[in-house]
């Protein structure tokens, strides 16, 4: 029986366990958390290796604007162990300032204890513009923030991706020109490399545009990957997935860019179109053996329905093709969008999560998880959705795999939207879900066919070759002051579903 509990946020939460009489780190859960009177929007989450605990990134609407919220969850039921709320250091107009997180990563001191967390997103003041991207680092308890703010004058910018490698942190995001004299200046993306403790300015920081200035490029997420060098060896690169579209705004399609981690040079940028009217690549992962990148997102045909889209690109940027995955029973399920992906515990496979719209009328937005092969004609092994989730379209689902201590059962951690009170449609909170390696919350549910499945059908797409010659130019960053604020609510209660 699954453990599904709700928590009003507090540093230590007491709950009634239903899953097992002897709690273990490998047990599953589905847990809501947040405040009764505020809105929490989940964005990312990562398991802590070998401990069974996890840390999630959300944004919370407080009296002083939207603020960044880190929450550590225990290994037994996902209840919050501590919460850290971070806000811009300002003494005036605090209700209009905000610090919004989008991506989370951590520095591992060893295989057990992280020494800190990296966060990127955007910060600003609703009374003025433009927004600026930031990169922030906390210690292992979500405290002592150190941050850098991207220097902007005529661009609105946001951080979307944060990845760590060899004691360094790579951050990437989007830039949108503003003002009346933008002309043909297009939307483009950027990336930078910092030392992990953020003690100095970036080692490199570049914008990435294209020689074809009639196209805009927007990234969603990224991953670290390897590519073969001309000398016959391999090097690491930051792979970014997103979409491009012409200035008239029609026909957006998926693209992937690979940036060398050491120099910031863009190795290649290639298109991955689905062959239908519209598609977006939202997240990306690389198979460590074949070095093939798998991109997941959505494709939309003329009927307006979004269907999950997956495509493959090799390490040299060659588009290998893709597949569109649609719901077999469209009367019960509508839009299906994959928004995050991680490597499976099985070789040459990945596990994706996202949202699906169910039910009549406007419907309910639920979180799903599925396993698929890393290849152009992706084969789906299992597909489930979670009826007690409430995905938030303004946030994102996230999924990461983890092993339990002492070689225990592998599992996946999903971060998504939830509700502390299911009867209150205005309740918007965050949720963490821990599922087993086969996608279930409880093996008994799978045997009884009680965990809702989705039946999907897949269509192979055609290969269209399109490369983009890229250009880059330097950017700058400034130090930024961030404060940690009290995170204890006036009252707290916990519920059992």
Report the chain's mean pLDDT, rounded to a whole number.
Answer: 81
Element (H, E) at 139: strand 128-139
Choose between 25 and 214: higher pLDDT: 214
Between the alpha carbon of residue 372 and those of residues 188, 338, 369, 381, the distances in Å are 31, 12, 10, 6
Confidence of residue 12 (pLDDT cuts 50, 70, 90): very low
Smallest CA-to-CA distance from 79 within 158, 166, 7 is with 7
How far separated are the first and last CA of the chain, in Å rounded? 12
The predicted model scores a pTM of: 0.87
The alpha-carbon radius of gyration of the chain (Å, integer) is 21
Residue pair 34/387 in contact (Cβ under 8 Å)? The answer is no
Task: Output the pLDDT for position 198.
Answer: 92
Choose between 411 and 94: higher pLDDT: 411
> What is the Cα–Cα distance from 173 to 416, expressed in whole angstroms?
22
Q: What are the residues facing 374 on neighbouring strands?
A: none
Task: Output the pLDDT for position 492.
Answer: 30
Could you tell me which residues come within 8 angstroms of residue 166 by beta carbon, excluding any fewer than 6 positions away?
Answer: none
User: Quick one: tokens of 307?
Assistant: 């269907």
pLDDT of 417 > 60? The answer is: yes
pLDDT of 47 > 80? The answer is: yes
pLDDT of 254 > 60? The answer is: yes
Length in residues, the chain: 497
Q: What is the mean pLDDT of residues 325-346?
A: 83
Per-residue pLDDT reduced to its tens digit, 357-407: 987 777 889 999 999 999 887 788 888 889 889 898 888 999 999 865 555
Confidence of residue 22 (pLDDT cuts 50, 70, 90): very low
């Amino acid at each position: 029986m699954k453990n599904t509990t709700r928590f009003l946020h507090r540093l230590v939460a007491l709950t009634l366990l239903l899953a097992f009489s002897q709690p273990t780190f490998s047990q599953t859960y589905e847990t809501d958390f947040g405040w009764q009177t505020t809105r929490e929007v989940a964005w990312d989450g990562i398991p802590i290796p070998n401990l069974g605990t996890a840390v999630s990134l959300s944004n919370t609407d407080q009296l002083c604007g939207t603020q960044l919220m880190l929450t550590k969850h225990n290994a037994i039921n996902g209840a919050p162990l501590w919460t850290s709320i971070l806000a811009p250091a300002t003494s005036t107009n605090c209700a209009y300032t905000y610090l919004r997180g989008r991506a989370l990563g951590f520095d591992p001191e060893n295989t057990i204890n992280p020494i800190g967390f990296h966060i990127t997103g955007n910060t600003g003041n609703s009374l003025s513009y433009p927004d600026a991207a930031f990169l922030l680092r906390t210690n292992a308890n979500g405290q002592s923030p150190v941050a850098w703010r991207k220097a902007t004058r005529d661009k609105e910018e946001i951080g979307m991706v944060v990845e760590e490698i060899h004691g360094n942190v790579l951050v990437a995001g989007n830039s949108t020109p503003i003002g009346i004299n933008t002309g043909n200046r297009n939307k483009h993306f950027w990336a930078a490399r910092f030392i992990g403790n953020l003690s100095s300015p970036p080692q490199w920081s570049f914008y990435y545009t294209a020689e074809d200035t009639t196209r805009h490029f927007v990234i969603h997420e990224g991953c670290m990957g390897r590519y073969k060098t001309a000398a016959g060896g391999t090097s690491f690169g930051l792979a970014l997935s997103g979409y491009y579209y012409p200035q008239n705004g029609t026909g957006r399609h998926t693209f992937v860019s690979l940036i060398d981690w050491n120099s910031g040079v863009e190795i290649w940028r290639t298109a991955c179109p689905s062959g239908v009217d519209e598609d977006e690549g939202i997240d990306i992962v690389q198979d460590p053996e074949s070095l093939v990148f798998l991109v997941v997102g959505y494709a939309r045909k003329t009927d307006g329905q979004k269907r999950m889209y997956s495509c493959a690109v090799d390490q040299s940027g060659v588009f290998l093709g893709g597949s569109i995955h649609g719901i077999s029973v469209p009367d019960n399920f509508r839009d299906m969008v994959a928004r995050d992906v991680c490597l499976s515990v099985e070789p040459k496979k990945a596990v994706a999560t996202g949202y699906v719209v169910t039910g009549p009328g406007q419907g309910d937005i639920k979180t799903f998880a599925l396993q698929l092969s890393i290849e152009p004609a992706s084969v789906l092994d299992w597909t489930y959705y979670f009826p007690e989730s409430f995905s938030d379209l303004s946030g994102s689902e996230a999924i990461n795999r983890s092993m339990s201590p002492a070689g225990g059962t592998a599992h996946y951690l999903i971060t998504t939207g939830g509700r502390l009170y299911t009867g209150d449609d205005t309740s918007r909170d965050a949720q963490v879900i821990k599922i087993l390696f086969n996608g279930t919350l409880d093996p008994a549910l799978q045997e009884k066919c009680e965990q809702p499945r989705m039946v999907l059908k897949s269509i192979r797409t055609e290969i269209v070759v399109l490369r983009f010659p890229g250009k880059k130019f330097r950017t700058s960053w400034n130090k930024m002051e961030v404060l940690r604020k009290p995170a204890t609510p006036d009252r707290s209660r916990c519920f059992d579903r």
